[in-house]
Amino acid sequence: MPNKLLGLTAIALMTAACGQTGSLQNPSAPSTLSQPANIAGNSASIGTLAAHETGTFLYRVGLAGNRATAENGDVVTVTVTRDGTNTFDVGAKSASGGGTFVHKTAGGTVLGSGTWVATGLLDFQSYGNGPSAFGGRAALTVSLTPSANPSVHRPGILEIECLFGEPPAGAFEGIRLNVKDVINFNKTVPGGIPPFIKQ
């Protein structure tokens, strides 16, 4: 699978979760700029999570961003804009906000970078932890746009997971990003994720 594709595609799926162990499906084939990526099967791989909390939540990642790796060793670093717009609504399955991504080889060569925006919420599972700050796992649909080709937009799934509260056994803390038919960053690189804040 070519590893330059994230730099050429604009929409990706990022998932960030706080305490989950499952992995997303591997992409079946590389996509091209002339053919939109098909992400219909991604939600099935996420699974249905019981939403113990309702309402609107603020989501974040570490100040320097969080990383995940793909099977070929490539690394993606994802940041979230800290302007208060990065929220999701559990009942409405909606999400807003965004941030940046950088895609590098295992050796550190930059293959692509750009911005992403949240387009919806697939699911949220709260792990609890008090009246306003929660651990949990959020699966967001996102659209990524590479700086080198701003007219291209491709869908993806971003998982964000935080271990505050009472996470299930085997949970992880960090992010995962699946760019359907391009590359799947399905291995979390451990790093602190701030808790979800109920609005």
Q: How far apart are CA 163 and CA 179, in angstroms?
A: 25
- Indicate the pTM of the whole model: 0.77
Backbone angles phi and psi of 42, in degrees to 5: -65, -35
In the chain, where the domains are located: 5-25+51-198
Q: What's the pLDDT at 6? A: 55
pLDDT at 34 over 70: no
Q: What is the mean pLDDT of residues 31-42?
A: 34
* pLDDT tens digits along 114-171: 999 999 999 999 998 877 799 999 999 999 999 999 999 999 999 999 999 999 988 8
pLDDT at 14 over 50: no
Q: Buried b vs exposed e over 100-129: b needs ≥16 C-beta within 10 Å? A: bbbbbeeeeeebbbbbbbbbbbbbbbbbeb
Give the distance between the most distant pair of CA atoms in the chain. 48
Cβ neighbors of 107 (< 8 A, separation 6 or more) are none
* pLDDT tens digits along 64-119: 999 999 999 999 999 999 999 999 999 999 999 999 999 999 999 999 999 999 99
Q: What's the pLDDT at 137? A: 95
